[in-house]
Protein backbone atom coordinates (compact mmCIF):
# COMPACT_ATOMS: atom_id res chain seq x y z
CA UNK A 1 0.00 0.00 0.00
CA UNK A 2 1.58 3.33 -1.02
CA UNK A 3 1.66 6.26 1.37
CA UNK A 4 -1.30 8.64 1.01
CA UNK A 5 -0.75 12.37 1.37
CA UNK A 6 -3.40 15.10 1.44
CA UNK A 7 -2.94 18.36 -0.42
CA UNK A 8 -2.90 21.47 1.77
CA UNK A 9 -4.63 23.29 -1.09
CA UNK A 10 -7.69 21.14 -0.41
CA UNK A 11 -7.80 22.84 2.99
CA UNK A 12 -7.36 26.37 1.65
CA UNK A 13 -7.70 29.00 4.36
CA UNK A 14 -6.85 26.83 7.35
CA UNK A 15 -3.73 27.62 9.41
CA UNK A 16 -1.01 25.09 8.64
CA UNK A 17 -1.07 23.43 12.07
CA UNK A 18 -4.87 23.09 11.99
CA UNK A 19 -4.70 21.66 8.47
CA UNK A 20 -2.05 19.14 9.51
CA UNK A 21 -4.08 18.09 12.55
CA UNK A 22 -7.13 17.50 10.34
CA UNK A 23 -5.05 15.52 7.84
CA UNK A 24 -3.60 13.40 10.64
CA UNK A 25 -7.04 12.80 12.18
CA UNK A 26 -8.31 11.66 8.77
CA UNK A 27 -5.66 8.95 8.71
CA UNK A 28 -3.41 10.30 5.96
CA UNK A 29 0.30 9.54 6.12
CA UNK A 30 1.33 13.06 5.22
CA UNK A 31 0.61 16.40 3.59
CA UNK A 32 1.81 18.32 0.53
CA UNK A 33 2.09 22.08 1.03
CA UNK A 34 1.95 24.65 -1.78
CA UNK A 35 4.82 27.14 -1.50
CA UNK A 36 2.77 30.32 -1.56
CA UNK A 37 4.50 33.53 -0.50
CA UNK A 38 3.41 32.84 3.07
CA UNK A 39 4.43 29.24 3.36
CA UNK A 40 7.77 29.59 1.57
CA UNK A 41 8.86 31.68 4.58
CA UNK A 42 7.58 29.09 7.06
CA UNK A 43 8.99 25.85 5.67
CA UNK A 44 10.88 25.07 8.88
CA UNK A 45 7.71 25.62 10.90
CA UNK A 46 5.91 23.22 8.55
CA UNK A 47 8.68 20.68 9.12
CA UNK A 48 8.37 21.09 12.89
CA UNK A 49 4.59 20.57 12.92
CA UNK A 50 4.87 17.58 10.57
CA UNK A 51 7.44 15.92 12.83
CA UNK A 52 5.27 16.64 15.87
CA UNK A 53 2.30 14.89 14.24
CA UNK A 54 4.30 12.10 12.62
CA UNK A 55 3.37 13.22 9.10
CA UNK A 56 5.39 12.90 5.93
CA UNK A 57 5.90 16.37 4.46
CA UNK A 58 6.27 17.34 0.80
CA UNK A 59 6.21 20.78 -0.79
CA UNK A 60 4.84 21.91 -4.16
CA UNK A 61 6.05 24.81 -6.28
CA UNK A 62 3.62 27.72 -6.14
CA UNK A 63 1.57 28.80 -9.09
CA UNK A 64 1.50 32.23 -10.69
CA UNK A 65 -0.14 33.67 -13.80
CA UNK A 66 2.79 32.03 -15.65
CA UNK A 67 1.30 28.61 -14.95
CA UNK A 68 -2.06 29.63 -16.40
CA UNK A 69 -2.24 33.09 -18.01
CA UNK A 70 -5.90 32.48 -18.87
CA UNK A 71 -7.06 32.09 -15.25
CA UNK A 72 -8.00 35.42 -13.66
CA UNK A 73 -7.84 33.88 -10.16
CA UNK A 74 -4.07 33.44 -10.44
CA UNK A 75 -3.66 37.11 -11.37
CA UNK A 76 -5.87 38.18 -8.47
CA UNK A 77 -3.93 36.02 -5.99
CA UNK A 78 -0.69 37.49 -7.33
CA UNK A 79 -1.98 41.05 -6.88
CA UNK A 80 -2.93 40.43 -3.23
CA UNK A 81 0.50 38.93 -2.54
CA UNK A 82 -0.55 35.31 -2.08
CA UNK A 83 1.29 33.96 -5.13
CA UNK A 84 4.70 34.93 -6.54
CA UNK A 85 5.05 37.47 -9.33
CA UNK A 86 4.84 36.62 -13.00
CA UNK A 87 8.20 35.57 -14.40
CA UNK A 88 9.60 34.39 -11.06
CA UNK A 89 12.56 32.02 -11.02
CA UNK A 90 12.33 28.69 -9.26
CA UNK A 91 15.07 29.82 -6.87
CA UNK A 92 12.77 32.64 -5.73
CA UNK A 93 10.05 30.19 -4.73
CA UNK A 94 11.81 27.06 -3.45
CA UNK A 95 14.01 27.93 -0.44
CA UNK A 96 17.55 26.70 -0.99
CA UNK A 97 17.71 24.89 2.34
CA UNK A 98 15.01 22.48 1.12
CA UNK A 99 17.51 21.11 -1.39
CA UNK A 100 19.64 19.89 1.49
CA UNK A 101 16.87 18.31 3.54
CA UNK A 102 15.03 15.12 2.75
CA UNK A 103 11.87 17.05 1.85
CA UNK A 104 10.71 16.43 -1.73
CA UNK A 105 9.39 19.41 -3.68
CA UNK A 106 7.12 19.01 -6.73
CA UNK A 107 7.79 21.41 -9.60
CA UNK A 108 6.57 21.95 -13.17
CA UNK A 109 8.24 20.04 -16.01
CA UNK A 110 9.27 23.22 -17.85
CA UNK A 111 11.42 24.31 -14.90
CA UNK A 112 13.97 21.76 -16.10
CA UNK A 113 15.05 24.50 -18.50
CA UNK A 114 16.37 26.55 -15.55
CA UNK A 115 19.03 23.99 -14.66
CA UNK A 116 22.41 24.50 -16.29
CA UNK A 117 23.57 20.95 -15.56
CA UNK A 118 20.70 18.49 -15.43
CA UNK A 119 22.93 15.69 -14.20
CA UNK A 120 23.30 17.65 -10.94
CA UNK A 121 19.58 17.93 -10.19
CA UNK A 122 18.95 17.30 -6.51
CA UNK A 123 16.99 14.10 -5.87
CA UNK A 124 14.51 16.03 -3.73
CA UNK A 125 13.20 17.93 -6.78
CA UNK A 126 10.45 15.95 -8.48
CA UNK A 127 9.13 17.11 -11.87
CA UNK A 128 5.42 16.93 -12.58
CA UNK A 129 3.89 15.84 -15.89
CA UNK A 130 2.69 19.37 -16.63
CA UNK A 131 4.19 22.36 -18.42
CA UNK A 132 3.39 26.04 -18.21
CA UNK A 133 2.17 27.91 -21.27
CA UNK A 134 4.14 30.51 -23.24
CA UNK A 135 1.70 33.29 -24.09
CA UNK A 136 4.09 34.85 -26.59
CA UNK A 137 4.88 31.79 -28.71
CA UNK A 138 1.46 30.26 -28.01
CA UNK A 139 2.89 26.86 -27.10
CA UNK A 140 3.88 24.78 -24.08
CA UNK A 141 7.17 25.91 -22.57
CA UNK A 142 8.47 22.34 -22.63
CA UNK A 143 6.93 19.92 -25.12
CA UNK A 144 6.01 16.46 -23.84
CA UNK A 145 8.44 14.53 -26.13
CA UNK A 146 11.31 16.73 -24.92
CA UNK A 147 10.29 16.11 -21.30
CA UNK A 148 10.39 12.35 -21.88
CA UNK A 149 13.81 12.68 -23.49
CA UNK A 150 15.24 14.66 -20.56
CA UNK A 151 13.72 12.32 -17.96
CA UNK A 152 15.32 9.28 -19.55
CA UNK A 153 18.64 10.95 -20.33
CA UNK A 154 19.18 12.38 -16.85
CA UNK A 155 17.13 9.99 -14.70
CA UNK A 156 14.84 12.82 -13.56
CA UNK A 157 12.43 12.05 -10.66
CA UNK A 158 8.82 12.36 -11.86
CA UNK A 159 5.39 13.10 -10.38
CA UNK A 160 2.72 11.43 -12.53
CA UNK A 161 -0.48 13.50 -12.50
CA UNK A 162 -3.38 11.58 -14.04
CA UNK A 163 -5.19 14.74 -15.15
CA UNK A 164 -2.27 16.91 -16.29
CA UNK A 165 -0.47 13.99 -17.93
CA UNK A 166 -3.30 13.43 -20.40
CA UNK A 167 -3.47 17.11 -21.32
CA UNK A 168 0.33 17.30 -21.58
CA UNK A 169 0.56 14.11 -23.62
CA UNK A 170 -2.01 15.47 -26.08
CA UNK A 171 -0.17 18.80 -26.37
CA UNK A 172 -3.00 20.70 -24.70
CA UNK A 173 -2.99 23.19 -21.84
CA UNK A 174 -5.71 23.33 -19.20
CA UNK A 175 -8.17 21.86 -21.69
CA UNK A 176 -10.24 19.07 -20.19
CA UNK A 177 -12.48 18.98 -23.24
CA UNK A 178 -9.49 17.71 -25.24
CA UNK A 179 -9.20 14.58 -23.10
CA UNK A 180 -11.08 11.59 -24.59
CA UNK A 181 -14.06 10.54 -22.50
CA UNK A 182 -13.93 6.95 -23.73
CA UNK A 183 -12.61 4.82 -20.85
CA UNK A 184 -10.70 2.40 -23.09
CA UNK A 185 -8.82 5.26 -24.76
CA UNK A 186 -8.00 6.93 -21.45
CA UNK A 187 -6.69 3.68 -19.98
CA UNK A 188 -4.54 3.08 -23.06
CA UNK A 189 -3.01 6.56 -22.81
CA UNK A 190 -2.36 6.18 -19.07
CA UNK A 191 -0.74 2.77 -19.60
CA UNK A 192 1.50 4.20 -22.32
CA UNK A 193 2.47 7.04 -20.00
CA UNK A 194 3.34 4.63 -17.23
CA UNK A 195 5.41 2.54 -19.63
CA UNK A 196 7.39 5.67 -20.54
CA UNK A 197 7.76 7.14 -17.06
CA UNK A 198 6.93 4.51 -14.43
CA UNK A 199 10.50 3.67 -13.42
CA UNK A 200 11.11 7.37 -12.69
CA UNK A 201 7.86 8.07 -10.79
CA UNK A 202 8.20 8.98 -7.11
CA UNK A 203 4.68 10.28 -6.56
CA UNK A 204 1.27 10.04 -8.20
CA UNK A 205 -1.28 12.84 -8.18
CA UNK A 206 -4.47 10.82 -8.39
CA UNK A 207 -6.80 13.38 -9.89
CA UNK A 208 -10.36 12.93 -11.12
CA UNK A 209 -12.34 15.23 -13.40
CA UNK A 210 -15.35 15.74 -15.62
CA UNK A 211 -15.28 17.44 -19.04
CA UNK A 212 -16.27 20.68 -17.30
CA UNK A 213 -14.60 20.53 -13.88
CA UNK A 214 -11.12 19.85 -12.55
CA UNK A 215 -10.11 17.96 -9.45
CA UNK A 216 -13.53 16.68 -8.46
CA UNK A 217 -13.85 14.41 -5.44
CA UNK A 218 -11.94 11.23 -6.21
CA UNK A 219 -14.21 8.56 -7.69
CA UNK A 220 -16.97 10.95 -8.78
CA UNK A 221 -15.57 11.90 -12.19
CA UNK A 222 -14.82 10.08 -15.43
CA UNK A 223 -11.16 9.16 -14.84
CA UNK A 224 -10.49 5.38 -14.88
CA UNK A 225 -8.65 5.57 -11.57
CA UNK A 226 -9.52 2.07 -10.36
CA UNK A 227 -8.10 0.51 -13.52
CA UNK A 228 -5.06 2.79 -13.40
CA UNK A 229 -4.31 1.83 -9.80
CA UNK A 230 -4.70 -1.87 -10.59
CA UNK A 231 -2.01 -1.41 -13.23
CA UNK A 232 0.21 0.39 -10.70
CA UNK A 233 -0.23 -2.44 -8.21
CA UNK A 234 0.81 -5.02 -10.79
CA UNK A 235 4.00 -3.04 -11.49
CA UNK A 236 5.08 -3.34 -7.81
CA UNK A 237 5.51 0.42 -7.67
CA UNK A 238 6.30 1.89 -4.26
CA UNK A 239 5.79 5.60 -3.67
CA UNK A 240 3.33 8.27 -2.53
CA UNK A 241 -0.19 9.02 -3.76
CA UNK A 242 -1.76 12.47 -3.44
CA UNK A 243 -5.47 12.82 -4.32
CA UNK A 244 -5.89 16.47 -5.25
CA UNK A 245 -9.39 17.89 -4.92
CA UNK A 246 -10.47 21.49 -5.47
CA UNK A 247 -10.69 23.57 -2.29
CA UNK A 248 -14.00 24.66 -0.84
CA UNK A 249 -14.08 28.40 -0.28
CA UNK A 250 -14.62 29.89 2.21
CA UNK A 251 -15.30 26.71 4.26
CA UNK A 252 -12.60 24.03 4.04
CA UNK A 253 -13.34 20.37 3.42
CA UNK A 254 -14.51 18.60 6.58
CA UNK A 255 -12.77 15.83 8.46
CA UNK A 256 -15.44 13.42 7.23
CA UNK A 257 -14.74 14.35 3.59
CA UNK A 258 -11.02 13.78 4.11
CA UNK A 259 -11.67 10.38 5.68
CA UNK A 260 -13.86 9.34 2.75
CA UNK A 261 -11.21 10.59 0.34
CA UNK A 262 -8.47 8.54 2.01
CA UNK A 263 -10.62 5.41 2.14
CA UNK A 264 -11.51 5.76 -1.54
CA UNK A 265 -7.85 6.01 -2.54
CA UNK A 266 -6.85 3.09 -0.35
CA UNK A 267 -9.65 0.97 -1.82
CA UNK A 268 -7.97 1.26 -5.21
CA UNK A 269 -4.82 -0.40 -3.88
CA UNK A 270 -6.30 -3.19 -1.75
The per-residue pLDDT for 42 is 87
Q: For the chain, which ranges sit under pLDDT 50?
A: none
- For the segment 15-46, what is each residue's pLDDT rounded down to a tens digit? 999 999 999 999 999 999 999 887 888 899 99
The per-residue pLDDT for 104 is 94
Q: What does pTM read for this prediction?
A: 0.94
CATH number of 3-269: 3.20.20.150
Domain residue spans of the chain: 3-269
- For the segment 168-197, what is each residue's pLDDT rounded down to a tens digit? 999 998 889 999 999 999 999 999 999 999
The per-residue pLDDT for 174 is 86
- Secondary structure of the chain in the HEC alphabet? CCEEEEEHHHHCCCCHHHHHHHHHHCCCCEEEEECCCCHHHCHHHHHHHHHHHCCEEEEECCCCCCCCCCCHHHHHHHHCCCCCCCCCCHHHHCCHHHHHCCCCEEEEHHHHHHCCCHHHCCCCEEEECCCCEECCCCEECCCHHHHHHHHHHHCCCEEEEHHHHHHHHCCCCCCHHHCCCCHHHHHHHHHHHHHHHHHHEEEEECCEEECCEEEECCCCCCCCHHHHHHHHHHCCCCCEEECCCCCCCCCCCCHHHHHHHHHHHHHHHC
The per-residue pLDDT for 123 is 83
Amino acid sequence: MPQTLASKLSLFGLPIKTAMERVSAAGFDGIEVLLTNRFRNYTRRCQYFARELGLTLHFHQAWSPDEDPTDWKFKLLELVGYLPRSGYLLSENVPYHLYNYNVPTVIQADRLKEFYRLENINGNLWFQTDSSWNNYTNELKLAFPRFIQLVNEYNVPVVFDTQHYLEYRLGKFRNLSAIPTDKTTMIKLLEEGWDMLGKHVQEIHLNDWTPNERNVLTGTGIAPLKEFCEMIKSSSWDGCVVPEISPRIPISHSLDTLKRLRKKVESYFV
